[in-house]
C-alpha cells in the first residue's frame, strides 16, 4: 500500500453515465414498457435475461418464499432477523410528526408529514446481490409508514437458476411479499409507469447496473429515485495507539467490494503507516477476493501521513468520505470536528462491517465526496410534506395591506386583488 502526500488525493471521480448506445437502449426499453406494458416486459426478460415467463408467472409466490428458507442456514435467518430488528429500532428514532402552530389571531400554520404511498426496491442479480441492502432499503420505508413496498429482481441471480434464496429470505424477514422476477431497465420502467401486472410506484430505490441507472434517470420526474451510488470508500483516521492489524482488516473489508473501491489511512504516525502497509500485504494473501482487493488498494488506496491529528481532520473533511473510522485515543474529542462524513465509526471495536450489517444505521451512504451535502438513506427519504395554512379573517384584515404591497412590488396585480376582494367585502359587510 503506497504512502503518499495528501495533495495527490481527491476522492471525487467523474461519474459514468454510460455510452450513447447504452443510453439509447435504456431509453428504448423504458418507452416500450411504458407503451406496451407486460408484453414488452416479458419480451425483454426473454431477450435480456434469457428467461421465458408469462404475466401470471412474474410474481414470486408465497411457496417460493417459504422454500427459500429451506435453502439457507438457520443461523443466517437468525442473524438477518436480529439485524432487521436493530435497523428498525434505529430508524424508528428518525420518525417525525406532523405539527401545527396555533397563532394568537386564530390562524393555524403547520406541516403535514405523510409516507409515500408505494415504493419499489430494485435488487440486482449480479455479484452485488446483497441481502443486507434489501433490509437497508425496505425498513426505512416501512418505518416511514409506506403501505405498499414492492421488490423487483432479475429472474436468475448470478447465472444460477432462480432468485438467490438469501435475497428472498431477507425480503420475507423485512416483511416484503410483493416480489416480481424482473430486472434491468424493463423493471424500472414497469415500476415507474405500471403494467397490467405491476402497479406503478411513487419512488424507486436500490442499486443496479448501468442500464438500471440510466433507466432510473430516464423515469425521474414521473417518479422519485434515490441517488446513484459511486464506488464504496473508507477513510481511517488513526493515531499511534491504533492496532495496525485492525486498521488493515478494516481497509481490506472496503477494498474487497470492487476494484474501484477506495481505502485510505490518514495518520500522523509514520510507524503506524509502515505497520499497516505491512499488515495489508500480509492479510491480502489469504483473502478469497484477493485480486479485487489488491486492485482496489493499488488503484485507489493510500496511506497519507500528516503532521498532526488536526491536519488529519482537515484532510478527512476535504475527502468527505462515505465511511470514516476514528481509531484514535479519544474519538469523542474529534467527532465534533468532522464536518463531512456519511457514517462515523468511533474507537477500536466499531469496525465498519458492524455498520454494514448490524448496528442499525443505514449502510446506503453518500459516496464520491457528496457527504458534503447529502445524507445516509433514512426515514426522511420515504415521506413527503405538505404545508398547511389556515388564515383567520382577523389575520387577513391585519396583514392584507402588507401582502398587497409585496404583490404589487412584484408587479403581480391579480395576487393583490385576491386579497383586496376579501378586504373590500369585509369593509362593505360592516356598512
Residues of each annotated binding site for substrate: 232, 254, 257, 323, 356, 410, 415
Coil, strand or helix: which one is 81?
Answer: helix
Site for its own copies in 326-345 (CB under 8 A): 331, 335, 338-345
Contact with its own copies (CB under 8 A): which of 24, 333, 406, 427? 406
DSSP-assigned beta bridge partners for residue 262: 233
Site for its own copies in 22-61 (CB under 8 A): none
Contact with its own copies (CB under 8 A): which of 255, 277, 302, 319? 255
Angle at alpha carbon of residue 364, lines to 5 and 74, rounded to 5° = 120
| 231 touches 261 (CB < 8 A) | yes
Site for its own copies in 233-252 (CB under 8 A): 243, 245-246, 249-250, 252
Distance (Å) of CA 408 to CA 127, 399, 416, 417, 425: 61, 15, 6, 10, 20
R_g of the chain computed on alpha carbons:
26
> Which residue out of 233, 256, 279, 323 is catalytically annotated?
323
Smaller CB distance to its own copies: residue 57 or 360? 360
Contact with its own copies (CB under 8 A): which of 20, 104, 159, 409? 409
Asked if residue 10 binds its own copies (CB under 8 A), the reply is no
Contact with its own copies (CB under 8 A): which of 4, 72, 199, 229? 72
The CB-of-362 to its own copies minimum distance in angstroms stands at 7
The CB-of-219 to its own copies minimum distance in angstroms stands at 12
Burial 306-336 (b: 16+ CB within 10 A, else e): beebeebbbbbbbbbbbbbbbbbeebeebee
Give the DSSP letter of residue 57: G
Helices 20-36 and 38-49 meet at what angle, rounded to 10?
140
- Of the listed pieces 39-47, 52-60, 172-180, 404-412, which binds its own copies according to CB under 8 A? 404-412
Task: Say whether 178 is catalytic.
Answer: no
- In the structure grid, which three cell numbers stand for residue 19, read together? 455510452
Site for its own copies in 83-122 (CB under 8 A): 83, 89-90, 93-94, 96, 99, 101, 107-109, 111-112, 114, 116-117
Coil, strand or helix: which one is 133?
Answer: helix
Contact with its own copies (CB under 8 A): which of 173, 218, 239, 356? 356
Widest Cα–Cα separation across the chain: 93
Angle at alpha carbon of residue 227, lines to 316 and 350, rounded to 5° = 40
- Of the listed pieces 29-37, 60-68, 182-190, 395-403, which binds its own copies according to CB under 8 A? 395-403
> Which residue out of 173, 279, 322, 352 is catalytically annotated?
322
| 323 touches 352 (CB < 8 A) | yes
Asked if residue 378 binds its own copies (CB under 8 A), the reply is yes
Gap between the Cα atoms of 264 and 234, Å rounded: 6
Of 357, 348, 359, 317, residue with least CA distance to 335: 317
Asked if residue 413 binds its own copies (CB under 8 A), the reply is yes
User: How many residues form the binding site for its own copies (CB under 8 A)?
Assistant: 124
Site for its own copies in 124-183 (CB under 8 A): 127, 130-132, 166
Backbone angles phi, psi at 269, to 5 degrees: -105, 110
- Of the listed pieces 3-11, 171-179, 191-199, 352-360, which binds its own copies according to CB under 8 A? 352-360
Coil, strand or helix: which one is 34?
Answer: helix
Contact with its own copies (CB under 8 A): which of 20, 50, 421, 429? 421
Smaller CB distance to its own copies: residue 130 or 180? 130
Asked if residue 75 binds its own copies (CB under 8 A), the reply is yes
Site for its own copies in 357-376 (CB under 8 A): 357-362, 365, 368, 370-376
Contact with its own copies (CB under 8 A): which of 189, 203, 264, 267? 203
Task: Say whether 322 is catalytic.
Answer: yes
| 335 touches 317 (CB < 8 A) | no
Coil, strand or helix: which one is 234?
Answer: strand
Contact with its own copies (CB under 8 A): which of 52, 298, 393, 427? 393
Gap between the Cα atoms of 327 and 276, Å rounded: 13
| 100 touches 112 (CB < 8 A) | no
Asked if residue 215 binds its own copies (CB under 8 A), the reply is no
Q: What is the dihedral of CA 252, 257, 260, 262, to 10 degrees?
A: -40
- List the catalytic residues: 322-323
Amino acid at each position: 500500500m503506497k504512502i503518499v502526500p495528501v495533495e495527490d488525493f481527491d476522492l471525487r471521480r467523474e461519474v459514468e453515465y454510460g455510452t450513447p448506445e447504452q443510453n439509447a437502449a435504456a431509453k428504448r426499453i423504458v418507452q416500450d414498457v411504458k407503451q406496451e406494458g407486460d408484453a414488452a416486459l416479458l419480451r425483454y426478460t426473454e431477450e435480456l435475461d434469457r428467461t421465458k415467463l408469462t404475466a401470471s408467472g412474474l410474481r414470486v409466490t408465497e411457496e417460493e418464499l417459504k422454500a427459500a428458507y429451506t435453502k439457507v442456514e438457520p443461523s443466517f435467518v437468525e442473524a438477518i432477523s436480529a439485524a432487521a430488528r436493530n435497523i428498525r429500532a434505529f430508524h424508528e428514532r428518525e420518525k417525525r410528526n406532523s405539527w401545527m402552530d396555533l397563532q394568537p389571531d386564530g390562524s393555524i400554520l403547520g406541516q403535514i408529514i405523510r409516507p409515500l404511498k408505494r415504493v419499489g426496491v430494485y435488487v440486482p442479480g449480479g455479484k452485488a446481490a446483497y441481502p443486507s441492502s434489501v433490509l437497508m432499503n425496505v425498513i426505512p420505508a416501512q418505518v416511514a409508514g409506506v403501505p405498499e413496498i414492492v421488490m423487483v429482481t432479475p429472474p436468475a441471480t448470478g447465472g444460477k437458476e432462480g432468485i438467490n434464496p438469501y435475497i428472498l429470505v431477507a425480503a420475507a424477514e423485512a416483511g416484503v411479499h410483493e416480489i416480481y422476477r424482473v430486472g434491468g431497465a424493463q423493471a424500472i420502467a414497469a415500476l415507474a409507469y405500471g403494467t397490467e401486472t405491476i402497479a406503478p410506484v411513487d419512488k424507486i430505490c436500490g442499486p443496479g447496473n448501468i442500464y438500471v441507472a440510466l433507466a432510473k434517470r430516464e423515469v425521474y420526474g414521473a417518479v422519485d429515485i434515490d441517488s446513484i451510488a459511486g464506488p464504496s470508500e473508507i477513510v481511517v483516521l488513526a493515531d499511534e495507539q491504533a492496532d495496525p492489524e485492525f486498521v488493515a482488516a478494516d481497509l481490506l473489508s472496503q477494498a474487497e467490494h470492487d476494484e474501484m473501491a477506495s481505502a485510505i489511512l490518514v495518520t500522523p504516525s509514520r510507524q503506524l503507516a509502515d505497520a499497516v502497509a505491512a499488515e495489508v500485504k500480509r492479510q491480502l494473501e489469504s483473502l478469497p477476493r484477493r485480486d479485487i482487493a489488491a486492485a482496489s488498494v493499488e488503484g485507489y488506496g493510500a496511506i497519507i501521513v500528516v503532521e498532526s491529528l488536526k491536519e488529519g481532520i482537515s484532510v478527512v473533511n476535504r475527502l468527505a468520505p462515505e465511511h470514516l473510522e476514528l481509531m484514535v485515543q479519544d474519538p469523542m474529542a474529534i467527532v465534533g470536528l468532522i464536518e463531512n462524513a456519511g457514517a462515523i465509526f468511533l474507537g477500536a471495536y466499531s469496525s465498519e462491517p458492524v455498520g454494514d450489517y448490524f448496528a442499525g444505521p443505514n449502510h446506503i451512504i453518500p459516496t464520491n465526496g457528496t457527504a458534503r451535502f447529502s445524507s445516509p438513506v433514512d426515514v426522511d427519504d420515504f415521506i413527503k410534506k405538505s404545508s398547511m395554512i389556515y388564515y383567520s379573517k382577523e389575520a387577513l384584515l391585519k396583514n392584507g395591506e402588507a401582502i398587497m404591497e409585496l404583490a404589487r412590488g412584484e408587479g403581480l396585480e391579480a395576487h393583490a386583488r385576491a386579497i383586496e376582494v376579501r378586504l373590500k367585502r369585509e369593509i362593505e359587510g360592516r356598512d
